[in-house]
Amino acid sequence: MMQTMEGNGSGGVTTELQGLEAAYRIIQQRDGTAERRAWHWQVTAMLALVGLIGVGVWDHLDRRGRIEPFVQTVVQQDDGTLVSLGVPQTLLAYEPHEAVWIQMVGEWIKRYRWRGKDAVLAQADMAWVQYHTCGMEARRLLNDEHRGWKPEHVGKTLVQVELKSVTKTPSPLSYQVLWKETTIPKALPPSEKMYTATLTTGRTSPASQEMLMQNRLGTCVTAWNLSEQP
């Protein structure tokens, strides 16, 4: 059995905690709902520990090579030791906190819409979005969009994405994202536009070790509706 930290991917645990902190700041900007108050002490405690809260993901392969991921919540103490909280849960039985969903949805939009100069980074962004998209129709739409992608097209037009807000909607598993895009063509002045999108989220169970390492909590987008703001 191999034990890994949720933040052991790109950037490690620190990157994950920075993302959770940013997601919590978004929650703070919302009205004073009971949901926010219930979250306040949890995330405040996390930040008071200087980002020492992590989620451990255990995974192992049985004789048939089937992935069986488990999630173990742990606290890293000041001396560096890890203390388990509760018992391990199967991946889909574990319910990620709202900050995790907000972070994932915001990251999905940024990687989906960002256009840079580096073809390798562009491919990495496309792969990340693929790993965090689930459902046959959603994946079909995404594959259709990516089918015409060519490395030589990268860098012709740059698009920078600045998230403004990520808000939980009254609909279950749905979030609304507001962001600004700055488009920079090669021979034209930059232009700015505001966009909004409603994203429906879900869970997916990884079918391979690679999928598990790319999307450790199985959070994903199942549908999206994007429009330009007037």
| Alpha-carbon span 172 to 60, nearest angstrom | 32
The residues facing 158 across adjacent strands are 184
Angle between helical axes of 12-28 and 34-48 (0-180°, round to 10): 150
- Do the Cβ atoms of 175 and 157 come closer than 8 Å? no
pLDDT band of residue 23 (cuts 50, 70, 90) is: low
pLDDT band of residue 146 (cuts 50, 70, 90) is: confident
Rg (CA), the chain: 19
The region of weakest confidence among 117-131, 137-151, 154-168, 185-199 is: 137-151
Q: Per-residue pLDDT tens for 46-94?
A: 333 333 334 444 444 444 566 788 888 888 888 888 888 888 888 999 9
Rounded to an integer, the average pLDDT of 100-110 is 96
Specify the DSSP element, H or E, that contains 90.
Answer: strand 82-90
| pTM for the model | 0.72
- Classify burial at 62, counting beta carbons within 10 Å of its beta carbon; exposed 0-12, middle 13-18, buried 19 or more: exposed
- Structural domains of the chain ordered from first start: 2-228 (3.10.450.230)
